[in-house]
Amino acid sequence: MDIAFTKGHGTGNDFVLFADPDGELELDAAQLAALADRHFGVGGDGVIRAVRSSALPEGTAVLAEDPDAEWFMDYHNADGSPAEMCGNGIRVYGAYLLSEGLLELGVGETVAIGTRGGVRQLTRTPDGFEVDLGPYLVAGEAIVAARRLAVDRPGLAVGVGNPHVVVALADDAELDALDLGEAPVVTPTPPDGANVEFVVPAEPLISGGVGRIRMRVHERGSGETLSCGTGAAAAALATRSWAGDGAPDAWRVRVPGGEVGVRVEGDHVFLSGPAELVFDGVVAL
Ligand SMILES: N[C@@H](CCC[C@H](N)C(=O)O)C(=O)O
């Protein structure tokens, strides 16, 4: 079977995207992992299928939540496992729908997109997209061990549609020394696994009313990546909660692949950043 794909990324978090509007291509986990394989396939941190919500069983709940959510982001990690949400992926998905002529959206306009985590509102901005990640939950403590981390550290569980555990480190040297080639061990084990973010404050933490942090991430199902949008939101939310009263609502999160913006409004958290399409091709599966 030949699949026409587009390769895209958001701050270096890269994806293989393909269109299957009517839900005719049900790829299994091994086929999805083969697409994402960096040696034997196209290569990516995840695979995104553009499919109409009406063509999927999950779409029933999505369309009940928002009948305007015509398109569903069918997201899978590099190992072929499904995930509820992808913050970088949904921006790249927006760019892909536009480039394929499947969506019309002017700057400042918003579209509803279905995901396994529910409907997300995606707004086109002059330099990319902003997504409303919805209501967040900062709750639950854990202990995290990682290679080259001298002592285990406390972690804070954050839910933004998908599960995260955020760990504060002392400084850049400690962050740079981490070996994320192996998954950090989180205790107690999260029932559905977790993405794990390690953060350090910038110096100063807050300038011009904006909080600034650096982050590295080990993603569930994908390993260490150059960026994770939902992870950046989780990292900003955790740092904001540690900072206490008076902490800013706006954050800039530096990741190995660039920088994204996070802002908190009420009980919702928003993520903004670029979305790049890099090349198209056809791959035989
Ligand atoms: N890179 C994504 C998150 C992708 C899903 C994640 N690995 C999970 O399993 O929850 C992002 O930008 O948010």
Mutate to test the pocket of ligand 1, among 76, 219, 276 (most ligand atoms within 8 A of CB): 219
47 belongs to the catalytic site = no
Cβ atoms within 10 Å, residue 118? 16
Ranges under pLDDT 70 in the chain? none
| 31-69 CB burial, b ≥16 within 10 A, e <16 | bbbbbbeeeebbebbbbbbbbbbbebeebeebbeebeeb
8 belongs to the catalytic site = no
Q: Is 77 annotated as a binding residue?
A: yes
Q: Is 219 annotated as a binding residue?
A: yes
Nearest to 216 by CA among 255, 245, 260: 255
* Dist. CA 230 → ligand 1 center (Å): 6
* Pocket, ligand 1, Cβ cutoff 6 A: 13, 46, 77, 83, 86-89, 162, 195, 219-222, 228-231
Set 33, 86, 119, 194: catalytic member: 86
Residue 217 alpha carbon, nearest atom of ligand 1: 1
Domain map of the chain by residue range?
2-131+274-284, 137-266
* Dist. CA 231 → ligand 1 center (Å): 7
CA distance 185 to 182: 9
Q: Is 263 annotated as a binding residue?
A: no
* Dist. CA 150 → ligand 1 center (Å): 27
The pLDDT assigned to 163 comes to 98
Set 69, 166, 228, 264: catalytic member: 228
Which CATH architecture describes the domain 2-131+274-284?
Roll (3.10)
The pLDDT assigned to 26 comes to 86
Beta bridge partners of 200: 214
Nearest to 195 by CA among 223, 169, 173: 223
CATH no., domain 137-266: 3.10.310.10
What is the Cα 254 distance to its own chain's centre? 14
Residue with CA nearest ligand 1 atom 2: 86
Residue 231 alpha carbon, nearest atom of ligand 1: 13
Complex-level ipTM: 0.99
Query: Residue 85 in contact with residue 42, Cβ under 8 Å?
Result: no
Q: pLDDT digits over 159-206, tens only?
A: 999 999 999 999 999 999 999 999 999 999 999 999 999 999 998 888
| 222-242 CB burial, b ≥16 within 10 A, e <16 | bbbbbbbbbbbbbbbbbbbee
